[in-house]
Structure formats: C-alpha cells, structure tokens
Amino acid sequence: MTDNQLRDEVRAWLADNWNPEERAGFLAKVVEARWAAPRWPVEWFGRGLDDTQARIIEREFAAVGAPGTAQDRTNLWANTVLAKGTEALKHQLVGRLLRNEVGMCLLYSEPGAGSDLAGIRTRADRSGDGWVVNGQKVWTSSAATADYGMLIARTDWDVPKHRGISFFFLPMKQPGVEVRPLRQITNEAHFNEVFITDAAVPPDNLLGREGEGWSVLQTALAYERSVMGEAARGPRSGAKEAGGAAPMVALAREAGVLADPLIRQDLARVTALRQLNALNTARAKADLGQGTSSSLMSLGKLAMSRILHEEARLRTAMLGAGSLLEGPDHPRAEDANFLSLNAYFTSIGGGTDQIQRNIIGERVLGLPKEPEVDRDVAFREVRGG
C-alpha cells in the first residue's frame, strides 16, 4: 500500500467511525481495525507497517482529535507484555490493554530501594508452579484501582543483586495486597504504598526468565521514560488561556508582559527546549526496537524535567505578586503553583534526574561508571540500612 492509499484509508475510516460526541466504544473499533498499534505484527492487532507509514496514521488521527493510535509507542503495559510475556499472558491481556480494559500500576520502588532499584527486598518464593510474594512497595500510582501491578521481586538471594530479580504481573485484587494512599505536596493522593503478604502469582505471569527480570525492567523503563519525555501533566484549573498562540505566549500576553525583553528571552528558551526535546525523542524512538531498551530515552526524560521546572518558574515570573494567590477564583496562579510543585514528580518518577544523568554519562557519553562495591556480591551478604 502506498502512503497516499494508506492516508485515504485512514481518513475514510475516521469519517465513518469517529464522532467526538459519541466516544463510547471507539477505542475497541480502533483496535479491531488495527490502527491502535500499526507497527506490530498482524497477529497482535497490528499491520506490520514501518515507522513512516505508522506516522501517517498518527497524523490523521491527530488532525481530527481522535484517540487510540500510536499505542505501539506509548502503551507501556501492552508493549512490555508483547515483548516479554508468555504466550498465555499475551493472549489474555494484550488486546484488553490496548482497549484500556485493564487497570495497571507499577510495583518497583521500595522504602529502601529507590535510586538503587536493584536493591529491592520484596521476595517471590516458589509455591507449586507459581510464586508467593511478600514485601512492600511505595510511590505506586493507581494502585487502589489496578487489576495488575508490574512487579519486580527477588527470587534468588545467592547471586549479585542485578541477577536475582524476576519480573511479574501481580494480580492486585486478591487477599494479601493492601493499598494505603500517600498525600502529596499538591494536596492530591495519586501515589500509594502497597503492602504485600503471601500474595499469589500464577506461573504464566512471569515475564522473561526467572532471575532475569532486570533486563525486562530496562525495556519497561524505556517505554515509561519515552512517555514521560514526550508529554507531561498540564494545568489542572481547566481555565482556557487567551488567544490561539502557544499557552506560555498566551499567558504572557494575558499578563501584559509579552513586550518585556527578559520574558521574551525566557519564552524563546523554553520553546527551544521543547522543540529540541521533540527532535531528541523522535531520535530515541527510532533507536528503540520492539522489546529493547535505549539509553537515549533518559535524555528526553531529563529534558522534560528541566522544561517543566523552567516553565513553572516562568509562569510565576509572568504573574508576579499575583502568583501568591490560589484557589478557583485565581486559576492562573493556581496553575502556576500546581505546576511548580508537580514538576518534581517528573524529577523523581521513572528514575530521578540524578539517575538519568548517570545513565547518560555512562551509556551515552561513555564516561567511567561510578564504583559499586556490592555489584558482584551475593545479595544476601549485602549490608542493608
């Protein structure tokens, strides 16, 4: 099929199926028509297209504001299962994940294992054909509503820390999984701590081989960082900004500071950062094959963190003393304060800024690795704090 034939097919399909006023059931239609993950093989809801033609589909969907495509780039859960899951798990979940019928969460970080994620102490012990899990996780978004959690747990304590970890899809709605919300600085409670006591994992819910979960995690983290590097949460007030220009420029015009040369310089800087990050993200995605990981994703995630902090600082500067206000009667100040606080989420979630700098230094720039005195020590002999 030529590019023009594909473009015509997508446009015709959207004309017949997309109605912004009637969204119910649309995502299922997208999956059935194989637009959701066009780069994937036909047997897995795809069309086997190359990146160039997949981008044609994405642009046509974006042109009419229709959701559901590009999930072969953005759906963390489905990409991880397709790349590393058992055949049974793929048949059970891939289609449902594409249709957003399954609630998911990440069970990675622990109170004593955040920046050093390989230091996890949640354990998964063999029980019959499956495993029994005990431990604690923290900073888990959507844990209260999730059907499954992507879990890393230690299955071998007699090998170095990176080699004794396995990766599971843990069923969340079972006895032994307790979720407690954590109040954030933004006065929200999206994060949770999760206590796991004798929770069961079926044999088909292991991704990759037992003890080789670290490599599965790198694939999952690459997709997560790709999403975080490409987009971030915006203002929460819901108030529309004046004018048809970019939001930051519109805010400067509304605040009456667009003519200020220092403000214009800062606007140019954050605009350039966003454009450069978009180009780098495209480069990283081209480098990311199905089921692989790319250290270039860390560049995008680190850049997005800086962009969010810079834009939050600029919003505050443009509003001046008015940025001290908050509440629904002051939506611009409310958004500036929220975005200033929420920027730290991107600086921490998915690997801290400091971790991204280490990855970039070691794996992109080729700088010497930091010393790790416990890297080759059996984990049961590693001292814990």
Question: Residue type for 88, please?
Answer: A
Number of neighbouring beta carbons within 10 Å of residue 88: 12
Q: DSSP state, 44?
A: G
Give the domains, in start order, of the chain with CATH numbers: 3-74 (1.10.540.10), 104-210 (2.40.110.10), 231-364 (1.20.140.10)
Residues with catalytic function: 224
Dihedral of alpha carbons 235, 236, 237, 243, sign: positive
Per-residue pLDDT of the chain (385 residues; tens, 9 = 90+): 899 999 999 999 999 999 999 999 999 999 999 999 999 999 999 999 999 999 999 999 999 999 999 999 889 999 999 999 999 999 999 999 999 999 999 999 999 888 789 999 999 999 999 999 999 999 999 999 999 999 999 999 999 999 999 999 999 999 999 999 998 888 887 889 999 999 999 999 999 999 999 999 988 988 777 676 565 566 665 566 554 457 899 999 999 999 999 999 999 999 999 888 888 877 776 665 555 556 777 888 888 899 999 999 999 999 999 999 988 899 999 999 999 998 988 888 777 899 889 989 998 899 998 888 888 899 999 877 5
CB 222 within 8 A of CB 293: yes
Question: Residue type for 380, please?
Answer: R
pLDDT in tens, 10-41: 999 999 999 999 999 999 999 999 999 999 99
Q: Could you tell me the two tokens for 19?
A: 């109605």
Residue 200's pLDDT is 98
Burial of 383 (0-12, 13-18, 19+ CB in 10 A): exposed
- Gap between the Cα atoms of 375 and 109, Å rounded: 19
Specify the pTM: 0.82
- Gap between the Cα atoms of 45 and 43, Å rounded: 6
Number of neighbouring beta carbons within 10 Å of residue 258: 17
- Gap between the Cα atoms of 149 and 135, Å rounded: 14
